[in-house]
């Protein structure tokens, strides 16, 4: 596994974003792990997060696109930070854009903020974590209603590696439904493998019993029931 992914796993633990215990996802699944990106709360944390996103974007998409789009609300700081760090990493100056929850009818009018969308723009969507793809189903129509754009892909921080609405992973379903490439900074399987073999701050975060609970979860919700 690439070094930046290992660093990102430790970074999530440092920030309290990645947690293990007993949680319930929005979809109602009882899960032994949870990723809460709301715990990125400082400028330094956001800068580092943007750098990890920029690394993944550069690796999977290069810089051959025009707009980095962040769905409201969590996607707004993500697209700003990642576009800045992508410029620092590669020199590319891509636009950033996000949507408002409500249409603004004065001043800078409309549903969008940031770079305006134009016909032919190539867009990469940036999100925190995608479990069922609900936000993408809401985002794509917004983009298409503003201009004749091409949505090239989606990048998330963590791929939970579990089924979406059918038998395939949520990211696989999104890729096939919308004809776009999907990727993550790190997958949950990479997280589990790394933390099962490497200590964090002198202790094993994932011990034998916790790993068995995680494997049970994936037998129930993983793609093809695989642990």
The active-site residue out of 30, 60, 74, 106 is 106
Is-catalytic flag, 104? yes
Cα–Cα nearest to 53, from 20, 94, 100, 99: 94
Q: Which of 30, 104, 144, 198 is catalytic?
A: 104
Cα-trace Rg, the chain: 18
Distance CA 199, CA 214 (A): 18
26 is catalytic: no
Q: Return the active site residues.
A: 104, 106
């Amino acid at each position: 596994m690439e070094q930046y992914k290992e660093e990102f796993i430790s970074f999530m633990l440092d920030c309290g974003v990645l947690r293990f215990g007993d949680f319930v996802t929005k979809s109602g699944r009882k899960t032994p792990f949870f990723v809460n990106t709301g715990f990125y709360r400082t400028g330094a944390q956001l800068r580092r997060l943007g750098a990890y996103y920029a690394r993944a974007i550069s690796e999977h998409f290069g810089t051959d696109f025009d707009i980095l789009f962040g769905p409201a609300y969590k996607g707004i700081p993500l697209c700003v930070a990642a576009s800045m760090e992508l410029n620092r990493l590669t020199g590319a100056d891509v636009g950033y854009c996000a949507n408002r929850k409500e249409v603004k009818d004065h001043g800078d009018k409309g549903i969008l903020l940031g770079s305006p969308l134009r016909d032919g723009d190539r867009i990469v969507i940036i999100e925190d974590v995608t479990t069922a793809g609900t936000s993408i189903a809401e985002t794509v129509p917004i983009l298409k209603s503003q201009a004749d754009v091409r949505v090239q892909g989606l990048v998330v921080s963590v791929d939970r590696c579990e089924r979406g609405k059918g038998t395939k992973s949520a990211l696989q379903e999104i890729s096939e439904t919308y004809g776009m490439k999907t990727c993550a900074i790190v997958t949950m399987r990479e997280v589990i493998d790394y933390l099962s073999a490497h200590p964090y701050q002198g202790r094993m975060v994932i011990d034998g019993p916790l790993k068995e609970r995680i494997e049970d979860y994936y037998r129930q919700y993983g793609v093809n029931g695989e642990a």
